């Protein structure tokens, strides 16, 4: 029974830390990533090919053999938005026209 719980715990740790799924990118993002690859390792390749899964571009392959696939964790923390309760126009106006009095 302990072995079963150990296996379940190991699987849960793997799932929440290592399991990833493909993240779609645009053609321009793939092109920029390819140019960064070329610059970083001084690659002489002239062409790259899209890697598609489900009709969406998820990465590219370079002529030199380099392969980039955009992945993201299945479970990730979403940053909480930093929303202020004040009216943004009034707040900006007050910041621009504030008198600097000693407090």
The count of other CB atoms within 10 Å of the CB of residue 92 is 11
Domain that holds residue 46: 16-74
E strands, 1-103, are 20-22, 48-53, 56-62, 67-69, 71-73
Look at residue 67 and tell me if it is in a domain.
Answer: yes
Predicted model pTM: 0.55
Number of domains the chain is built from:
1
81 or 31: which leads in pLDDT = 31
Q: Is 58 helix (H, G, I), strand (E, B) or coil?
A: strand
Segment 51-75, tens digit of pLDDT? 998 889 999 999 999 999 988 766 6
Burial class (CB in 10 A: 0-12, 13-18, 19+), 61: middle
Look at residue 4 and tell me if it is in a domain.
Answer: no
Look at residue 95 and tell me if it is in a domain.
Answer: no
> 38 and 45 in contact (C-beta within 8 Å)?
yes
Segment 18-56, tens digit of pLDDT? 667 788 889 999 999 999 999 999 999 999 999 998 889
């Amino acid at each position: 029974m302990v072995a079963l719980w150990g296996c379940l715990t190991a699987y849960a740790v793997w799932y929440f830390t290592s399991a990833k799924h493909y993240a779609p990118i645009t053609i321009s993002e793939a092109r920029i990533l390819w140019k960064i690859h070329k610059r970083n390792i001084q690659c002489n390749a002239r062409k790259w090919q899209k890697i598609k899964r489900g009709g969406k571009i998820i990465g590219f392959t370079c002529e030199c053999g380099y392969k980039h696939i955009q992945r993201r964790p299945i479970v990730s923390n979403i940053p909480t938005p930093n929303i202020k309760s004040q009216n943004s126009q009034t707040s900006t106006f007050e910041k621009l026209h504030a008198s600097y009095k000693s407090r």
